Amino acid sequence: MFTIEHEFDATVITLIDEGEAPLCEDVTIESHDAGVTLLQTDPDTDEVMVIHLSMRQLQELGAALDLPEGIYRLRPTGGAQSS
């Protein structure tokens, strides 16, 4: 399950883990003009872990989800080229 909220300066997506245990903590994704921030609370320390991705890194992550093992570089046309 997930939620989408549009705020003044960001779109916020929250991914909620459902199903059988063990479940992971919710992941919040904030999309800004400069990139994306992922937040998840560490259940052991109660601290929020933060990861920042540039828009380029996000594009590469999206492409990597559909590719086999290897080294790639995104082409300006949007496709991935093996290096």
19 φ/ψ sector (left φ>0, alpha ψ -120 to 50, else beta): left
How would you classify residue 63: left for phi > 0, otherwise alpha for psi between -120 and 50, otherwise beta? alpha
On whether the CB atoms of residues 81 and 75 are closer than 8 A, the answer is: yes
**For the whole prediction, is pTM greater than 0.85?**
no
pLDDT at 76: 79
Taking only the tens of pLDDT, the chain with its 83 residues reads 999 999 999 999 999 999 998 899 999 999 999 999 999 999 999 999 999 999 999 999 988 988 888 999 888 776 777 76
Q: Which pLDDT belongs to residue 77?
A: 73
Say how many domains are in the chain.
Answer: 1
Domain extent, residue 51, equals 2-82
